[in-house]
Structure 1
Amino acid sequence: MNIDEILLKDKKIYHTKELMAVGLTYYKINKLVDEGWLIRLNKSYYENNYFEGEDNDFYYVTAYTPEGVVCLLSAAVYYRLTNFRPDSIDVAVPKKKNVSTLPDWPVFKMYYFEKNRYDLGIKNIISSKDGFKIYDIEKTVVDILYYRNKIGIEETKEILTNYLSRQDRNLNKLIQYSEKLKCHDILKSYLEVLV
């Protein structure tokens, strides 16, 4: 079997099940690791060294935290709401979830969300053949308002200002999210100052 038939050039992260679905055994997978075609990330996921697509660190989120959702500043960067570049990927998981193995790189900053905060506003992004979960833009803004003291007041103001200047903003959805997540008063006071 040719390597082109096994590893797609536009897929960065593979689950063991995906590799076995194309006819590989554990022995053959380990052989691909030994030959340098794959890098073992953990017991279930592998990185494709043959990958030629657009690189995105968010692809690693699913490999290390299958329930992980890109959130807060990392999501704000994705939506171009801030020029700030965090040195880690902000990842939300359910509060009682145990995340045991994290990589040295990329660095993940974990946030343990209550069920109602975790479940609200999750989007699946598929790019090439890889994907990751991220909160929608309104949920991102509301979470940043909620965590404004950890994020920083200036960054929070910048993100909200940039959101309000967008053509695709949805203020009704923003207000609904702020009510559901108990930070409507915070949003209201920011809007009174900015608008």
Structure 2
Amino acid sequence: MVDPYATARELIQRTGTARSRDMVRAGVARAQLSRLVASGDLLRLSRGIYTLPDLAPAEGREGLLVIAERLATPRLCLLSALSLHGLTTQAPFEVWIAIGNKDRAPRIDWPPLRVVRMSEKTLGAGLEPLPIGHVTLRVTGVAKTVVDCFKYRNLVGLDVAIEALREALGAGLTTMDELWMYARLCRVARLMRPYLEALA
């Protein structure tokens, strides 16, 4: 007979999360999953996605585990990246992800997503690994995030972009050379020039 807790724990420990359908395939009944959640042995992150209480991510990062489980190649950007790099005091209630111009926008029930379309040329630029529990996501690095804030200033606000630029340079998290490189790649060098020159 299958021990539902041992089976669920074994599946979850491999990647940090497990889907209900995978646990059902392994012999755990849906009613048993509900009882494990009620008893506190499992933590339900989102519909059909579970983790263990001792593997639960830091406050505010639960949505990132769900994103990692549900999306094939999540790329965190803009306000989510700013928050992860410590460049803003605001915690966005949406998870900001970048997709290609022709990609289909993902549809999930939780967490709420803000989808930003980028060209293939800029989509993969400046991505860094971000370990969250047992999984690794990709997030735009500091320089690319700051430049993206200028490029998508109509979405995040020019004041957010300027604050991110000041914070990143002031904390030594990026260099002028990196910022210029991404500014040229994203075609916002002319827009950013006066701000970069003022802080040089």
TM-score (norm 2): 0.78
Superposed, which structure 2 residues align to 1:73-112 within 5 Å? 73-103=79-109, 105-112=110-117
Q: Which runs of 5+ in 2 are unaligned?
A: none
Q: How do 1:54-133 residues align onto structure 2 when only pairs under 5 Å count?
A: 54-55=57-58, 56=61, 57-103=63-109, 105-133=110-138
CA distance, structure 1, for counterparts of residue 102 and residue 174 of structure 2: 33
CA distance, structure 1, for counterparts of residue 96 and residue 157 of structure 2: 15
Q: Which amino acid aligns with 2:87?
A: L
- Alpha-carbon distance, 1:139 to partner: 0.8
Higher RCO (CA 8 Å, separation ≥ 6 residues): 1
Q: Which moved more, 1:131-140 or 1:185-194?
A: 185-194
CA distance in 2, matches of 1:73, 1:111: 11
Give percent identity, aligned residues only.
Answer: 18
8 Å CA contact 2:183, 2:189 repeated in 1: yes
Determine the C-alpha separation between the residues in 1 that align with 2:124 and 2:72.
14
Question: Which one of 155, 158, 177 corresponds to residue 160 of structure 2?
Answer: 155
Cα distance in 1 between the residues matched to 2:96 and 2:51? 24
Which one has a larger percent helix, Structure 1 or Structure 2?
2
Native 8 Å contact 2:16 2:133 kept in 1: no
CA 1:120–1:29: 2 relative to 1, 3 Å: farther
Residues 66-105 of structure 1: CA distance to partner in whole angstroms, max 9, x if unpaired? 22211001100110111122221111112211134222x3
* Counterpart among 104, 124, 142 of residue 147 in structure 2: 142
Check 1:14–1:8 CA distance in 2 against 1; reply closer, same or farther (3 A cut).
Answer: closer
The letter for the 2-side match of 1:161 is: R
Partner letter of residue 131 of structure 2? I
Say which is worse superposed, 82-91 or 136-145, in terms of deviation. Answer: 82-91
Distance 1:52 1:145, change over 3 A: same
C-alpha distance in structure 2 between counterparts of 1:30 and 1:188, whole Å: 60
SS where residue 82 of structure 2 aligns?
A: helix
* Alignment match, 1:14: 18
The aligned amino acid for 1:163 is A
What is the SS of the residue equivalent to 2:190? helix
CA RMSD of aligned residues (A): 2.9
Give the number of aligned pairs.
Answer: 187
Partner of 1:46: 49
AA in 2 matched with 1:6: E
Point out the more displaced range, 2-11 or 130-139.
2-11
1:92 aligned counterpart, secondary structure: strand
**C-alpha contact (below 8 Å) 2:77/2:140 kept by paired residues:** yes
The AA in structure 2 aligned to 1:173 is E
